[in-house]
């Protein structure tokens, strides 16, 4: 049986932040539901050309991988460079869309997504998030402050919060009242 071809990325008009967030949300639905993580989707776009550079979702790659991490690792693999050299070849006009604010701490010991973003130097200029990270696993996420302190703009794309949280928390135990 042959492997299915990846579905094409829909054409999204430059500046259509909700469109890119919807794409990220559709990616999040591919992540397996688990009680120990959020299902997150991420899209990296070259804002100068409106080209999607990479997409990712939680647990897409082997290991306990997050969506933003998958984008970065897939780009490094595509360009046959290590993560530390990826910044050398990327355009400096990248916009990142992620359904949930990038993590500032990993309980697994992996590098937090905010640190992976910052390791790309000044390549990522803006991060659009669908919701701030809930306090379920790590409270007081400091990603927004870290990104803004590094000169990266962070914007909330409102209107999809309920859909994002429904997808993100699939597989989590619900508290009965």
For the annotated catalytic residues, the residue numbers are: 68
Residue identified by tokens 């990270």 is 133
DSSP 15: T
Query: HSE-up of 167 (CA within 13 Å, CB side)?
Result: 22
Residue identified by tokens 């999607």 is 52
CB 113, CB 68: distance < 8 Å: yes
Residue identified by tokens 């530390």 is 84
Residues 137, 7: Cα–Cα separation, whole Å? 32
Burial class (CB in 10 A: 0-12, 13-18, 19+), 90: buried
């Amino acid at each position: 049986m042959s492997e299915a071809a990846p579905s094409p990325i829909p054409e999204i008009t430059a500046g259509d932040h909700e469109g890119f967030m919807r794409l990220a949300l559709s990616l999040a639905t591919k992540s397996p539901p688990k009680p120990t993580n959020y299902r997150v989707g991420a899209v990296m776009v070259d804002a100068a050309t409106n080209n999607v550079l990479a997409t990712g979702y939680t647990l897409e790659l082997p290991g306990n991988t997050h969506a933003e991490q998958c984008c970065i690792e897939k780009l490094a693999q595509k360009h046959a460079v290590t993560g530390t050299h990826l910044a050398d070849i990327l355009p400096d006009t990248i916009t990142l869309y992620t359904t949930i604010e990038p993590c500032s701490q990993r309980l697994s010991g992996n590098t937090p997504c905010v640190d992976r973003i910052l390791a790309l130097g000044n390549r990522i200029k803006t991060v659009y998030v669908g919701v701030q990270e809930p306090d379920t696993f790590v409270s007081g996420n400091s990603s927004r402050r870290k990104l803004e302190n590094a000169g990266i703009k962070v914007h909330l794309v409102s209107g999809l919060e309920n859909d994002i949280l429904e997808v993100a928390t699939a597989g989590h135990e619900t508290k009965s009242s």
